[in-house]
Structure 1
Amino acid sequence: MTTPLLGLPEIAASQSQKHVTHNEALGVLDALVQLSVLSQSQPSAPGSPADGDRYIVPTEATGDFAGQDGAIASHREGTWSFFAPQAGWRAYVADEGGCAVFNGTSWTGPGVVTLASTLNGAESRIVTVEEELILSGASVASSVVIPDRAIVFCVSTRTTEEVTGVWNYHCGIAGEAEKFGGFLGIAAGSTNAGVIGPQAFYADTPVVLTANGDTGAFTGGKVRVALHYLLPIAPEN
């Protein structure tokens, strides 16, 4: 017998070796309570995972993750365990800097609103994701990206810690340093909403912050970058 929500194994009356069942239940609790995953876009199991590493398995994953679409993968003592989520479960996604929510069929978020959907899984999503970048060198690229086929409206920024080493900075992409704003403020609290005419992107594209000043290099500071875009999702069937 297992519990109805988390699937925790229950100890039977007069059961021998009760510690086995008890420890199994503790393992499930440890994997699922206060859920935080490293990523929901890891296409296959990483080569050298640490005990406690967890992922939301994306669609069409391979290797040890194959066939586990949407499941929570948890690594412990050299073995991957997979747990099926239920509607309403929420997980912090470390590499996206926000929470994803399971709606009963798929994970959405962080910062995802489905404007419309069909019975066969097609969706129109408005997405907002953010990441705080630590600045050093001539430029810094975000790890969150504008995804392939997204239609971008804006990339906004907030200087969360005074930027040093430069007079100001630009926000853009590779080859277009000022696409989302140029000569932006280095003082803590400075903000910019880099609105553009809606533009489609056809490859995963990081945002790049570029130093501007006589040294041409950041020596410190932090900037939070937020991406605002529409993402169409093709039908699943």
Structure 2
Amino acid sequence: MSETVRLRLPLIAAAQAQKHVTHNEALARLDTLAHLHLLTRTGTPPGAPLIGDCHLVTTPASGAFSGKADHVAEWTGADWVFHPPVTGLVAYLASAGTLVVRTAAGWRDYGGLLSPSAVLSRSAGGATTGLATLETTLSGLSGAFVEAAGLIPNRAVVFGVSTRTLTSITGAASYDCGLAAERSKFGGGLGVAAGSSNAGVIGPTAVYAATAVRLSANGGSFTGGSVRIAVHCLLASVPDA
């Protein structure tokens, strides 16, 4: 046997001359595939690559990537080297902030790494279902109400909006969290003291345009304070063309 079974690392033969060449080649391949770091999924060789850059080749592939779909393409400084996929190989895909795993059925997303949004499933045609936790902080509260414009994405299914009062709110005795047309949809009479919080869960609600979350003052207008708001929702994307 001249190479290992899984990663195809070259083996040193008995009485081989220049053993360091084979040894260094094995180390270089191991350095690439252990804790594999992929920059992108692409079927086109990127311009101006840096030594050690790796990409997951997709279909259709062109140029130097032709015929190498599903392979890991590594730039050596002189040309592209292609590593065939191995079932069970795990890689970090930087462009998506996810892990990908090589299975018997091909490469599959493992999921987001505690990112604001993560894909839970993907169809063969590229449609996805994902979950998102989208957050912002409203500071210097002033007036009868304040809004986090567009915090709820277009075509989202909202499960709830949670809040935390970061610094004590002044001017109002309490506040409601909701929408322009539904003042307390996510909670009413919420606390103005620093540290007050509310998990405003609701039945799944579909939203068909980017929508603001509104905080409305009770018992007077806002004159100060800050509140952190988080939207918890499901996101759907359409299949690829």
Question: Does TM-score exceed 0.5, indicating one fold?
Answer: yes
TM-score, normalising length: structure 2: 0.57
Structure 1 SS opposite 2:110: coil
**Distance change (3 Å), C-alpha of 1:9 and 1:82:** same
Shift of 1:192: 8.8
Percent of paired sites with the same residue:
29
Cα RMSD for the two superposed structures? 4.5
| 1:75 pairs with 2:75 | yes
Shift of 1:105: 3.7
What does residue 222 of structure 2 align with? none
Higher strand share: 2
Query: What is the CA–CA distance in structure 2 between the aligned matches of 1:22 and 1:156, rounded to whole Å?
Result: 46
Task: Verify the 8 A CA contact 2:132 2:233 in the aligned structure 1.
Answer: yes
Shift of 1:104: 2.2
Task: Verify the 8 A CA contact 1:156 1:227 in the aligned structure 2.
Answer: yes
Summarize deviations over 1:70-124 as a string: whole Å, max 9, x none. 111111122211111221111111111111111124101133xxxxxxxxxxxxx
Higher radius of gyration, 1 or 2: 2
Query: What is the CA–CA distance in structure 2 between the aligned matches of 1:180 and 1:8, rounded to whole Å?
Result: 48
**Distance change (3 Å), C-alpha of 1:183 and 1:191:** closer
Shift of 1:180: 5.9
| 1:64 pairs with 2:40 | no
Q: How many residues align?
A: 184
Summarize deviations over 1:178-237 as a string: whole Å, max 9, x none. 8566998697899899956599xxxxxxxx89999xxxxxxxx9x99986548879xxxx
What does residue 20 of structure 1 align with? 21
Note the 1:59-208 alignment, pairs <5 A: 59-111=59-111, 131-132=115-116, 150=127, 152=129, 155-159=131-135, 162=137, 168-171=148-151, 176=154
TM-score, normalising length: structure 1: 0.58
Task: Verify the 8 A CA contact 1:70 1:84 in the aligned structure 2.
Answer: yes
Task: Verify the 8 A CA contact 1:151 1:198 in the aligned structure 2.
Answer: no
**Distance change (3 Å), C-alpha of 1:131 and 1:169:** farther
Structure 2 SS opposite 1:27: helix
Shift of 1:33: 0.6
